[in-house]
């Protein structure tokens, strides 16, 4: 009898878990679902500013225009258990990656990376509508890349 391969567990992380990481969670979930991949997704923030709050209303609005639903997501802060329970932890930018490395046991550092690979995902929080649209463009493009990467492995 074949034992099914456990789902890949991926955590997306930004600072407050109200703009970039919940957007990435919802968009990437849509991409992996459409590709039929077994990937468990979640998001968190390195800071606890917004624990329990929904994503920023602008993130919700712009994502909804593209067919992504962020309305059920709630902000949470990364926990010590996340470093062992997730297979891959993707940070929005180098500052959050550095904070993850600071908190993460050295034995788990190989799980940490930037969502965009070698570039920061810009924070739209203090921006305007085009900044939120740009973040969505970047997340959609990288989500397609992650799907191809996981399909090939």
Which residues carry out catalysis?
14, 20, 123
What is the residue whose two structure tokens read 């917004």? 50
How far apart (Å, rounded) are the C-alpha atoms in residues 20 and 93?
10
> Smallest Cα–Cα separation from 15: which of 124, 138, 148, 133?
124
> Smallest Cα–Cα separation from 92: which of 52, 31, 138?
138
């Amino acid at each position: 009898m074949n034992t099914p391969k456990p789902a890949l567990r991926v955590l997306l992380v930004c600072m407050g878990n109200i703009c970039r990481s919940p957007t990435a969670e919802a968009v990437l979930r849509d991409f992996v679902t459409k590709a039929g991949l077994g990937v468990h997704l979640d998001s968190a923030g390195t800071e606890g500013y917004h624990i329990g709050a929904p994503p920023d209303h602008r993130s919700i609005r712009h994502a909804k225009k593209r067919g992504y639903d962020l309305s059920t997501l709630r902000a949470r802060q990364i926990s010590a258990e996340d470093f062992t329970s997730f297979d891959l932890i993707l940070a929005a930018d180098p500052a959050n990656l550095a904070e993850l490395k600071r908190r993460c046991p050295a034995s788990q550092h190989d799980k940490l990376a930037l969502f965009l690979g070698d570039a920061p995902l810009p924070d739209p929080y203090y921006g305007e509508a085009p900044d939120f649209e740009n973040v969505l463009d970047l997340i959609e493009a990288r989500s397609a890349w992650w799907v191809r990467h996981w399909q090939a492995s």
